[in-house]
Amino acid sequence: MARPRAFDERAVLDAAAAQFRVHGYADTSTEQLCEAAGLRRSSLYNAFKSKDELFVQALGHYAATMRGHQESILTDTSLSGAERIQKLIGAIVGEERAARSEGHAAGCMGVHALMNPDLRARDERIARILERDLRERLDMLEGAIQAGRMDGSIPDGPDAREGALLINALIAGLRVTAQSGVTPEVLHRIALDGLRSLLA
């Protein structure tokens, strides 16, 4: 009979994702992962077999967790469509502000993985996680845009799917720009400028 694990797997995946999202796959060492998770190397590898396997599981967990946070904002019917999008951008900038107070940018596992085609080629599960994540996030963003057009907070304009792609690109750009040391205040102004074509 297998012994039950003496650690919270979800907490380990959270800790691993926190490292991977800031440093990326290649620059996250096993030592960093063990320290962040509070586990010995043997315990980590007994549970997840390899760094690759831990990355795949952490990516799936991270993507689902982030989508859940975004869904709570983008489907909030107490807000107009425009307010939902503005609140989402505010949450992204808020993450960057909190991370900056700790001496780094918040990072994003999805952006790191998308910018590393070798990772996707090495394990098809990574590509599937990213494809599902993108599809579901675009669906939520498109829904918020359509809600905004119905309630009058977002004017008629380009195809709603293209608007969703614009917001998604803006968020990814904010994540990358934050890595260069740009302050949250500037990030927020950049975001508002980027949204102007959609919301004005």
pLDDT digits (tens, 9 = 90+) for 41-100: 888 888 888 899 999 999 999 999 999 999 999 999 999 999 999 999 999 999 999 999
**Percent composition of the chain: helix, strand, coil (DSSP 3-state, to 5):** 75, 0, 25
pLDDT at 4 over 60: no
Query: Does a structural domain hold residue 56?
Result: yes
Instruction: Write the CA distances from 169 to 30, 62, 102, 181, integer angstroms.
Output: 31, 19, 26, 19
- Total domains in the fold of the chain: 1
E-strand ranges in 92-185 read none
pLDDT 10s digits, 95-134: 999 999 999 999 999 999 998 888 888 899 999 999 999 9
Domain hosting residue 100, numbered range:
51-199
Task: Give whole-number Cα distances, 150 to 48, 79, 112, 153, in Å.
Answer: 47, 12, 35, 8
Instruction: Give the whole-angstrom CA distance, residue 75 versus residue 134.
Output: 17
* Residue 44 domain-assigned (yes or no): no
In a domain, 24, yes or no: no
Q: Say if 194 falls within a structural domain.
A: yes
Q: Are 174 and 187 in contact (CB under 8 A)?
A: yes
Residue 27: strand, helix, or coil: coil
Q: Is residue 17 part of a domain?
A: no
- What local confidence, expressed as pLDDT, does residue 95 receive? 95
The pTM score is 0.90
Report the CATH number that the domain containing residue 195 is assigned in CATH: 1.10.357.10
Domain membership flag for residue 3: no
Specify the residue for token string 């900056």: 100
Structural domain includes residue 106: yes
Contact 63, 110 (CB under 8 A): yes
Please check the confidence at residue 3 and state whether its pLDDT lies above 80.
Answer: no
> Does some domain include residue 23?
no
Tell me how far apart the alpha carbons of residues 17 and 32 are, in angstroms, rounded to a whole number. 11
pLDDT score of 158 more than 60: yes
